[in-house]
Structure 1
Amino acid sequence: MEKTYLMIVCLLIGYQLEPAWSQATIAPDENSMQSCNACCQGPAGLPGVPGAAGAAGVPGVAGAASAAGNNGLPGRDGIKGEAGRKGDMSERGERGEPGLPGPQGPSGDRGERGLQGFPGKVGPGGIAGMDGSNGRPGSDGSPGPAGSPGSSGLKGQKGEAGGQRRSAFSVAKTSSQIGNSGDTLTFDDIETNIGGHYNPSTNKFTCQIPGTYVFMFTIASSSSSHDPHVYLMKDGSRKTLAIVRETDSGGSIYLQASQGVVLQLDVGNQVWLQFGSSGDAVHGYPNESTTFSGFLLYED
């Protein structure tokens, strides 16, 4: 279509310029014709001045092939692209400053009140005051004037704290003892006996408050014997053993061994120390190096 349009424009321009070219042509005279005939053709003349542009031609009618077609149907969805590469992990930021403390929470419920303790023992009464100035009734038989107040009685024993029953003892030997297997160790120095649960006559502790108890003992060998074996017993059952083994054959060095154990006891359970073999001997006085102690840790 564009080529056709250009050809029409060129034809119109040529049509407009043709009269000018015809008028500008010089008619040949006789001499020039003779000269041309006698020799070669002379030089070409100068081109004429271009004429004015002609009017634009009428646009051509579009062909059937150039007519705009109807819009086609929408194309199908393209294939889904591959997943992109995972980005690099950035550096961890700096830790922020700690926040302000939160408000104080509400107060907890008040605990239950403990059990009331046992009352203390009643102290002895005071001395009675004198009846009269001379300590005797009046001559007429009437009572004399009141005497001065009597002296205060002795202070009663302090009762146990409510909800905190206690049991503890600590005893020691002041002399050496030689025993046979199964014999009970005896202790004659009672340092502590809170609650009176250790019996000095039987040398055994009897539980009166059920709970968890801690027991400890230390034995020292006597110069008259070697390697004493001592067991801590609970109702006839061995719970732990302490052995003193001397390295001096002369028996002149006193050595010690200690043991401890935590036991769960019920009311009536008994705990004591006894020899593990015959002929064993433990040392006592003067430094009370053989001791036995125990105390209530938690009450059930």
Structure 2
Amino acid sequence: MTFFWPFLTLLLVGFPHQIWCQSQDCHAPKGKDGVMGHQGRDGRPGQKGDQGDPGAPGHFQGLTGSKGDAGDPGTSGDPGNRGYIGSEGPPGAPGDQGKKGIKGAMADTRAQHKAAFSAIHPKLNGNRLLFTEIITNEENVYNKETGEFTCSEPGYYYFTFQVVSLGDLCLQIWMKKSQEAGKKLLSFCDRNARSQPQVNSGGSVLNLDIGDQVWIETDAKNRRIAGKDISSIFSGFLLFPRSE
């Protein structure tokens, strides 16, 4: 009974407002607006929008100031890289001819050095050849006891030899500079399987200083030299002095 009376009261109150259905669709009466709810929370940030078009250029409307004073000069910068070499320019005009020089003194051939020698009849002293019979020895530049030519005037000298062999023979031109050990400059070898007389020859132009020495040596294994009955010769002479 407790539940019945409230239900009956609600039914009686709503009865005068009941709308009878005139068709198959029935509509209830419109209710009253409800109370406004509380403000909701902020939504999530939206995505970044597209970039807008550039705006119109601005206009400067201020006054132009007067030019300021020049500042102090800055420090010098580092030098730049070296540039490429340019093309060669055309030759310039010829200069004026200089004054004629003073006539030099007449040359005196008697004052010039005339170093020259020739010696024959070689014999072996170890590996060194001693040409024991002198034909020419201007200025006494060749020593038959040692087989050495000694330079007395700096310049360019020509040396040559022709030595007869009776078998395999290797001959070498040696040179010794002052305060240095001797060294082999050139080597000339001939093969002679028949042991018949055969000429081994060679030569060279050397640039020498005072005191330099030149001589001929053989190879220790190939040294068959003909005796005095067949002529062999060693020669040398000054081509021209060297100006210091």
| TM-score (norm. length: structure 1) | 0.42
In the aligned structure 1, how far is the partner of 2:113 from the partner of 2:147? 22
Is 1:241 paired with 2:182? Answer: no
Residue of structure 2 in register with 1:193 after alignment: 137
Q: State the one-letter code of the partner of 1:238.
A: K
Q: Distance in 2 between matches of 1:286 and 1:260?
A: 23
Provide the alpha-carbon RMSD of the alignment. 2.2
Cα deviation for residue 200 of structure 1 reads 1.5
Who is 1:298 aligned against? 240
Per-residue deviation, 1:184: 1.0
Highest relative contact order (Cα 8 Å, sep 6+), 1 or 2?
2
Distance in 2 (CA, whole Å) between partners of 1:231 and 1:114 is: 42
Equivalent pair of 1:219/1:244 in contact (CA under 8 Å) = no
The aligned runs of 1:150-169 (5 Å cut-off) are 161-162=110-111, 164-169=112-117
TM-aligned CA deviation for residue 268 of structure 1: 0.6
Instruction: Name the residue aligned to 1:216.
Output: 160
1:185 is displaced (CA, Å) by 0.2
Quick check: 1:245–1:255 contact (8 Å CA) kept in 2? Answer: no
Check the 8 A contact 2:133/2:144 in 1, yes or no: no
SS of aligned partner of 1:201: coil
Alpha-carbon distance between aligned partners in 1 of 2:191 and 2:134, rounded to the nearest angstrom: 28
What's 2:210 paired with?
267
Gap runs ≥5 in structure 2: 1-99, 177-181
Query: How far has the Cα of 1:284 moved from its partner?
Result: 3.6
Report Cα offsets for 1:197-240 as digits up to 9, x if no partner.
Answer: 11122110010111000000111113xxx211111100111121
Structure with bigger strand share is 2
What SS does the corresponding residue of 2:229 show, helix, strand or coil? Answer: coil
- Preserved CA contact (<8 Å) 2:169 2:200: no
Closer, same or farther in 2 for the Cα pair 1:273/1:111, shift >3 Å? farther
- Contact 1:179/1:281 (<8 A) preserved: no
Do the aligned partners of residues 247 and 110 (structure 1) sit closer, same or farther apart at CA in structure 2, a change above 3 Å counting? Answer: farther
Q: Percent identity?
A: 30
| Alignment match of 1:172 (pick from 103, 120, 128) | 120
- Matched with 2:104 is 112
Cα distance in 2 between the residues matched to 1:278 and 1:178: 13
Q: Do the aligned residues in 1 keep the contact of 2:164 with 2:230 (CA within 8 Å)?
A: no
Unaligned runs of at least 5 residues, structure 1 = 1-107, 117-159
Contact 1:210-1:266 within 8 A present in 2 as well: yes
1:287 shift after superposition? 3.3
Does the 8 Å contact 1:178/1:279 carry over to 2? no
Q: Is the 8 A contact 2:119 2:134 kept in 1?
A: yes
Q: Contact conserved, 1:204 with 1:270, CA < 8 A, in 2?
A: yes
* Cα displacement string for residues 95-116 of structure 1 (whole angstroms, at most 9, x for unaligned residues): xxxxxxxxxxxxx867521576
Equivalences, count: 138
After superposition, the Cα gap between the structure-2 partners of 1:255 and 1:166, relative to the gap in structure 1 and judged at 3 Å, is same
